[in-house]
A and B are shown apart, each in its own frame.
Chain A
Amino acid sequence: MSSWWTVAPVALPLAAAALAFALVGQRSAQRVIATLTALALVPLSVALLMRVSQLGIQTAQLGDWPAPFGIAFVADHFSAIMVVITAIMAAATAIYALSDIDPARESLQYHPLFLVLVAGVNGAFLTGDLFNLYVWFEVLLISSFALLTLGNLRNQLEGGLKYVAVNLVSSLLFLASIGIVYGLTGTLNFADLAVALRDAPAGLVTVVAMLFLVAFGIKAAIFPLFFWLPASYHTPPIAISAFFAGMLTKVGVYALIRVFTLLFTHDVAWTHGVLAWLAALTMVIGVLGAAAQNEVHKILSFHIVSQIGYILMGLAIFTPLALAAAVFYLAHNIFAKANLFFIAGMMRRAGGSFDLGRLGGLYKTHLWLALLFIVSAFGLAGFPPLSGFWAKALVVLASLDAGNAWLAATALGVGLLTLYSMTKIWQGAFWAPAPTERAAGESASWPLVVPAVVLAGLTVVLGLASEPFIALANAAAAELMNPDLYIDAVLNGSLGTEVAP
């Protein structure tokens, strides 16, 4: 039965989505199902992470067909950490959505779509097979496209069109690369593939690696493939934007880290050198783009891009410390970034606009909101003792360790510019005098406040008590740097998975 722990984070939201679809037209029942499922995912995924910590890498072979022939699910530290983060984000978003999603969108099946999205994200994190990774990407792409355009507003359709067109190109590239890999090796199971690629011609493998880099790079919104993101992420309601901002690009980053640690490590000097340049450019361009914006949620959208650069930097340096930094950065960034979106949603309710020119004076009227913002924004920018400080410190430390001073300098410079953007929001929305004619502010209800408080709390906890989390990130990095553990667990461990109680 042990395999069920590994499958549960995908099977539960899928089954719940099916049930919610069957209850079409009964909004309150759908709300209950979505919220309870998201909340139940948190203990389930924490249990999975604990099993991984205690028993080693967990695998599940769906339908009892052995690897490499069947559908493999694999949970190592990295996957399990991502699943825990997804669960927390899903729970926070489900609660926030209770207030944020209007009845019209609920009737258009917001709740089942959201559950399918969560299942897709978890599936991508847990799958042990390249083709199934593609399938989960499609699951999350289709549901995210539906969520993005739910409500059919003009700017939503415009953003959605860019989103889906660019992502389809990425999927096509991804699928073509899968075809080449299959032709090259005859297998798509990650573990089996990692073994087979060792004997494949190095030049061809490098070409395929670059194709995957482009395909996943589009999903992860790295330079120069990021332009769809700021064009679309600000259009749907905040609950949807926040989950997208937190999770979706990170699935692309996860896929990059997975393939560039497990599969494509034959020519690190070249492949990871390219990654380093892309990481630096992503950081710089993203932060400059943000500096040019004047609306809260658009500034935040550009910052997603910039932060992806830091995570990519950890992968590019490719040392245990750097990968641990990347994993820690992922966790910190998802919480801080999604929370800033949640808070931006409350700022709009309080001040009637996302536009910094029309906001103002919120510090006087909404002190608690100011405090929440300052924790998340300074957390993102990397103020000690908040989580971003450790994340940035680890990344910079790792690049100095590896003798990569220019990358470290870029990261520090970009950190400063991040702070500039955050202060700009602070200045415009909280300190500037309130505009004379102001749209009537709505008061925030508990479903909006609770997730923001919890996520802000996590930012503080990750910062103040970072040790156990950094230990987890180190464990994840150790596994990533040693692919044989993963290969062994999938190919040899598959016979023994059912023995453990």
Chain B
Amino acid sequence: MTSLILRTATRLLLAVLLLFSVFLLLRGHDLPGGGFIGGLVAASALALYALAFGSSAAAALLPVGPRPLMGVGLSAAALAGLLAALAGRPFLTGLWFVQDFGGYTLKLSTPLLFDVGVYLVVVGVVLTMVFGLEDD
């Protein structure tokens, strides 16, 4: 599709949507959001890009192909479950790392890592399908 309006709007929207997807991902622990919906938003941003500029241009935005992305995401989720072993707790137990930086609190946890994994899997799955449809 070669619409100037679509291309211009996509350039603007891509960054906003990707930022929004990360926002959703991070907010997901206590509020509506999370890796799944964040991943869907990110994937739709890239799908929009693919619609405007073609799937090869969209694929070039990603550091790896959509399929390895799924594997990396699954591995991250698996790692999040396995990390509990280091603390001597059962599989998938949430571990928290909380640090204060002069008024700001940094909260890292294995559920967050798990959600990042879900995010990557969703992006990978949706983009595999979108690119597959574009190619045919």
Contact = CB atoms under 8 A, between A and B. Distances in A.
B32 interface: no
B61 to A, nearest CB: 19
B92 interface: yes
A3 B91 contact: yes
Looking at B70, B89, B90, B93, the one whose CB has the most chain A CB atoms below 10 A away is: B90
Contacts of A62: 90-93
Interface stretch (A12-20, A391-399, A472-480): A12-20
A15 B90 contact: no
A7 interface: yes
B54 interface: no
Size class of the B contact interface (CB-based, 8 Å)? 20 to 34
Interface stretch (B15-23, B37-45, B71-79, B99-107): B71-79
B108 interface: no
Interface string A1-29: 10110010001001101111111110000
B81 A11 contact: yes
Looking at B65, B72, B78, the one whose CB has the most chain A CB atoms below 10 A away is: B78
Interface in A228-275: none
Nearest to B74: A18
A64 interface: yes
A61 interface: yes
**Secondary structure of the A contact surface, majority rule:** helix
A21 B91 contact: no
Contacts of B75: 15, 18-19, 21-22
Contact of A24 (B67, B77, B82): B67
Contacts of A15: 75, 78-79, 82
Contacts of A64: 89-90, 93
A203 interface: no
Given A61-B90, A62-B90, A63-B94, A22 B82 contact: no
B102 to A, nearest CB: 33
B88 interface: yes
A60 interface: yes
B95 to A, nearest CB: 10
Nearest to B76: A18
Contact of A1 (B79, B82, B85, B92): B85
A486 to B, nearest CB: 19
A50 B94 CA distance: 29
Contacts of B90: 3-4, 7, 60-64, 498
A71 B90 CA distance: 11
Interface residues of A, number: 24
Interface string B51-83: 000000000000001011011101101110110
A20 B90 CA distance: 24
Contacts of A1: 85, 88
Interface in A43-81: 60-64, 71
Contacts of B92: 62-63, 71
A87 B21 CA distance: 41
Contacts of A24: 65, 67-68, 71
Contact of A11 (B67, B70, B74, B78): B78
Nearest to A60: B90
Contacts of B72: 22
18 contacts: A1-B88, A7-B90, A15-B78, A15-B79, A19-B71, A20-B71, A21-B68, A22-B68, A22-B75, A24-B67, A25-B67, A60-B90, A62-B90, A62-B91, A63-B90, A63-B93, A64-B89, A112-B71
Given A18-B74, A62-B90, 12 more contacts: A4-B90, A11-B82, A11-B91, A14-B78, A15-B78, A17-B74, A19-B78, A22-B68, A22-B70, A24-B67, A63-B92, A64-B93
10 nearest CB pairs, A to B: A22-B71, A21-B71, A18-B74, A15-B78, A18-B75, A7-B91, A3-B90, A63-B92, A64-B93, A24-B67
Interface of B: 65, 67-68, 70-72, 74-75, 77-79, 81-82, 85, 88-94
